[in-house]
Amino acid sequence: MKQRDIKRLSLILLFAPFALWILLLIVLPHLGMFYISLREKVAPRTYEFGLENYINFFAEPIYWNTLIRTGSMSLLVTVLALLLGFPIAYYIAKIAGHRSRGALFLMCLIPLWVSDLIRAFGWILLLRETGIISSSLQWAGLVSTPVEFLYNDATVIMGLVYTVILFMIVPLVSTLDGMDDAMVEAGYNLGGNGPTVLRRIIIPYAMPGIVSGCIVVFMLTAGSYLTPILLGGKNSSWFTEQIYDQFITRYNWESGAAFGFLLLAFTSLVVWGGLKLSGQTLNSTVARS
Amino acid sequence: MAIKPNTAFLASYQIYVALFFVFLAAPLVAAGMFAFNDSQFPSLPWQGFTLDWFFNDSEPKLGMFHDRRLLRGLYYSFVIASGVSLLSVFVGTCNAFLFVRCKFPAKDFFYIMMVLPLVIPGVILGISILLLASNIANGAEEALSLDLDFLRPGIVLVVLGQFSFITTITSLVIIARLKKFDASMEEAAYNLGASRVRVLRTITLPFLFPAMAAAGIVAFLVSFENFNTTLFLVGSEAPLTITMYDRMVKVGSTPVLNAVSFFLMIGSALLALVSILVQRDKPQT
C-alpha cells in the first residue's frame, strides 16, 4: 500500500511541472489568442464578439495573398531542402567512413550554433551590391557594374533553405543510419539498378525521417521572420511580417491575434494534409522516440 | 559501403558534398572575416588586419568591448540564457522521469503535447504569451488595482517565452539518455538497502548528468540566439540579438557587428565542444 502511495505522489510531483508548462505557456496563451481574435472593437474599451477580424482578412486580397504566398514558398523551400539534403544525409549515414562521419555530421550542425541574425548578416555581406560576390565578379571582369543579388525571391528562398536544411538532414541521417546495408545489396542482387533501389528500398525506409524533416522545415520556414525581412527587404511580403505589423505598428491586437491564429491553422492544415498523403502519423515521425 | 557505384559517379557525388559544405560555411566566413578588416565598412577591398573592432575605445571605430549598448545586450542575453537554461533543464529532467518511468492514462497524447512547442512558429508563441500576460496584467490592474509589472514585456516574459519551446529540446535530450539507463543498477542499490533518495542521488542522477549538462548548454545557446519569440516580449532590457538587429536596421552594417558575430561564433563553438565532450561516454571498466 505504501509503495503505491509513493508512486502516486511521485507521479503527481513529476506531472505538475509538465502540466504547468504546457497549460500556462502553450494551451492557455493559444486559447487566449483565439478568444481575442474573436473580439471586435466597437468603441474605445468596448468589444463585441464576432468574426469581423477574420472577415477583414478574407476581404482584403493583400492579406490572404500574402498567406498563400508564404505557404507556397515554404512548400518550395521544403522540397528544395529535401532534394538538396537527402544526398548529404545519405553520404553521411552510408558512404562516409566511420571517422569522417562524425566530423561531417558536426559540420552540418555548425549553422545551428550561430544565430539566424548572423547567418542573414553573412548573406547580406556576400550578396549586396557592394558585397563580396559582386566585387569579385567585377574584379574578374565578368560584369562591369555592381550587381544587386539581394531583395528578390530567389535569394529569400536560398536563405531560407540555408537556415532550415539541417533540420532536414538530422532526422534523415538518424533514420538512414538504422538501415541495414544488406537491404540495399539485396536490391542490387535481385537485379535492381540505382534508381530502382532508391525508389523501392531506400526512400520507403527513410519515409519517417523524410516526413518528420519536412514537417519541421515547413513550420520553421512559414514561421520565420528574420530571413525574409533581411534578405527580401521591404517587399518580401511574408505573413509573419503582417502579424508584426498588426501588433507593433498598428497596435491592432485583435486583428494580429486573428492573423496569428490563421497562420497556425493554415500551417497545421498543410502538415495534416502531408501526413495523410504520406500515410504517416505525428507519433511515427516528429514524436518518434 | 553498401553500393559500389562507378568512380565518376562517386567523384561527382563527393564534389557535391564538398560544395554543400562551402555553401554552409560561406556566410559564416563572410560575417567573421570583416571583423578584422581595417575599414569603416564590412566590404571589399581588404584594407589590412586590425583588432580595432574589438578593442578600440573611441569613435569612429568603437570596438565591441567598449560599446556600452552592445555590452549591455550581451549581459542581458547572458542573464536570460542562464535563467532559461536552469528552468528548462529542471522541467526537462522531470519530464524525462515522467515519460520514461511513469505509467498514466493518455500518455501518447501528452507526449505529443510535449513535442508540439517545437513546431509552433516562434512568432506565434511570442504573441500568444504577450497577449495572455498583458490581459492578465490589465485585468489585475482594473479589478484589483494591482500592478503586476513582471507580466509586462521585459526580462521575465522573454525567459518564459523562450522556456516554452526550449523545454521540449531539453526534455528530448534527457529522455534519450534516461532510456539507456540499465534499471538493474537501481535494483542492485535497492537490494543493498539504499533509500529512494539515495539511489536517485548516487546512481540515477550521476548517470543523467552528462545529458543534463548538454541539454543546459543547448538551451543556453538556443536562448542566446533566439530572435522570433523574443522580439514580441522584449522590454527595455534588450538582449544582444535584438540590439544587433536594431543597429543593423538603424545604423546599417558596421564592422563592429562582424566583431560581435565572430565573438558569438567562437563562444558557441566552444560551448558546443564542451557539450559534446561531456556527453561522450567514458569507457566502462
Q: Where are the domains of chain B?
A: 61-279
Distance, CA of B71 to CA of B80 (rounded, Å): 14
Q: Do B241 and A117 touch (CB under 8 A)?
A: yes
Min Cα distance A152 → chain B (Å) is 18
B131-141: b (≥16 Cβ within 10 Å) or e:
bbbbbebeeee
Considering only CB atoms, B264 lies closest to which of A115, A219, A220, namely A115
The minimal CB distance from B128 to the residues A32, A224, A271 is found for A32
* HSE-CB for B192 with a 13 A CA cutoff: 10
DSSP string of B90-109, one letter each residue? HHHHHHHHHHHH---TTHHH
Residues from chain A that touch B90, judged by Cβ atoms under 8 A, are 17
Please judge whether B27 and A125 are an interchain contact, meaning their C-beta atoms are less than 8 angstroms apart: yes
Residue A45 three-state SS: coil
Considering CB atoms only, which of B28, B90, B231 is closest to A122?
Answer: B28
pLDDT for the residue numbered A289: 44
Q: Please tell us whether the domain made up of B61-279 is placed in CATH 1.10.3720.10.
A: yes
Closest to B230 in 3D by CA, of B242, B219, B221, B218: B242
Q: What is the pLDDT of residue B136?
A: 87
Percent of the residues in chain B that have a pLDDT greater than 90, as a whole number: 15
Q: Which of B212, B241, B170, B72 has the alpha carbon at shortest distance from A114?
A: B241
Give the pLDDT confidence score for residue A76 in this predicted structure. Answer: 94
DSSP-derived 3-state class of residue B37: strand
Question: What pLDDT sits at residue B282?
Answer: 55
Q: Quick check: B124 and A263 CB within 8 A?
A: yes
Over 70: is that where the pLDDT of B230 sits? yes
Helix (H/G/I), strand (E/B), else coil: B114: helix
Angstrom distance (rounded) from CA B75 to CA B62: 18
Enumerate the domain spans of chain A: 53-278
Is residue B285 very low, low, confident or very high in pLDDT (cuts 50, 70, 90)? Answer: very low
Asked whether the beta carbons of residue A162 and residue B20 sit closer than 8 angstroms, the reply is no
Hey, are the CB atoms on B121 and A114 less than 8 Å from each other?
no
Look at residue B1 and tell me whether its pLDDT is greater than 50: no
Task: List the single best residue of A98, A104, A117, A214 to mutate versus B (max B Cβ within 10 A).
Answer: A117
C-alpha cell, B143: 479589478
The 10s digit of each residue's pLDDT in A238-252 is 888 888 888 888 888
pTM (global) more than 0.95:
no
Instruction: Please give the Cα distance from B162 to B117 (Å, whole number).
Output: 10
pLDDT tens-place string over residues A43-94 = 676 777 778 888 888 888 888 888 999 999 999 999 999 999 999 988 888 8
Please compute the mean of the pLDDT values over residues B132-147 and round it to a whole number: 84
pLDDT at B90: 93
- What 3-state class would DSSP assign to B245? helix
Inter-chain residue contact A17 with B91, CB threshold 8 Å: yes
The label of the residue with cell 498598428 reads A250
Q: Is the pLDDT of residue B149 over 80?
A: no
* Cβ–Cβ below 8 Å for B44 and A115: no
DSSP-assigned beta bridge partners for residue A41: A47
* ∠ Cα B170 B174 B175 (to 5°): 115
In this complex, do A118 and B196 lie within 8 Å of one another by their Cβ atoms?
Answer: no
Enumerate residues 6+ apart whose C-beta is below 8 A from B243: B69, B70, B72, B73
Please check whether residue A244 touches B, CB under 8 A. Answer: yes
Match 532559461 to its residue by C-alpha cell. B84
Please name the residues between 260 and 279 in chain A that touch chain B, using a CB distance below 8 Å.
260, 263-264, 267, 271
Provide the shortest C-alpha distance from residue A25 to chain B (in Å): 6
How would DSSP label each residue in A153-217? Answer: HHHHHHHHHHHHHHHHHHHHHHHHHTS-HHHHHHHHHTT--HHHHIIIIIHHHHHHHHHHHHHHH
Q: How far is A32 from chain B (nearest CA, A)?
A: 6
Are B17 and A224 inside 8 Å of each other by CB?
no
Question: Chain B interface, mutation test: which of A80, A121, A198, A238, most B Cβ atoms within 10 Å?
Answer: A121
Q: Does A194 touch chain B (CB under 8 A)?
A: yes
Q: What CATH topology corresponds to A53-278?
A: MetI-like fold (1.10.3720)
Q: A103 Cβ partners below 8 Å, 6+ apart?
A: none
Q: For residue B284, what pLDDT is reported?
A: 44
